[in-house]
Amino acid sequence: AQSVTQLDSQVPVFEEAPVELRCNYSSSVSVYLFWYVQYPNQGLQLLLKYLSGSTLVKGINGFEAEFNKSQTSFHLRKPSVHISDTAEYFCAVSEGSNYKLTFGKGTLLTVNP
């Protein structure tokens, strides 16, 4: 059965610093990988997705993620964060012919001035 582990529940950083949010998954079959963002009191928005091909995926708002099959990881990175990036970030995995979509517990990114 698939599972998604987000290794950090909270990540505080200063503005303009780089950030990495970590995500590991377990699955016995090929998967599709996603990162979603949820701003305070808002719905979920897709940041980026990996389906196949290049392991480095670029998304919106300057975020990117790298798929590492051997380490079963899909870490999210941004070289320089802004206050407006403060939000909760969710890693998600879809597997199987029925595309079961499973989410991690989320990482709260807080960007401080």
Q: Find the shortest distance in angstroms from Cβ 9 to another protein.
A: 7
Closest to another protein by CB, 15 or 61: 61
Closest to another protein by CB, 69 or 100: 100
Closest to another protein by CB, 72 or 94: 94
Tell me the Ramachandran region of residue 16: left when phi exceeds 0, alpha when psi lies from -120 to 50, beta otherwise: left
Cα–Cα distance, 56 to 90 (Å, whole number)? 18
Q: Find the shortest distance in angstroms from Cβ 49 to another protein.
A: 6
Closest to another protein by CB, 12 or 79: 12
Interface residues with another protein (CB under 8 A) are 6, 9, 32, 34, 36, 43-44, 46, 49, 51, 90, 92, 94, 98-106
Q: Find the shortest distance in angstroms from Cβ 85 to another protein.
A: 19
Q: Find the shortest distance in angstroms from Cβ 54 to another protein.
A: 15
Cα–Cα distance, 2 to 88 (Å, whole number)? 22
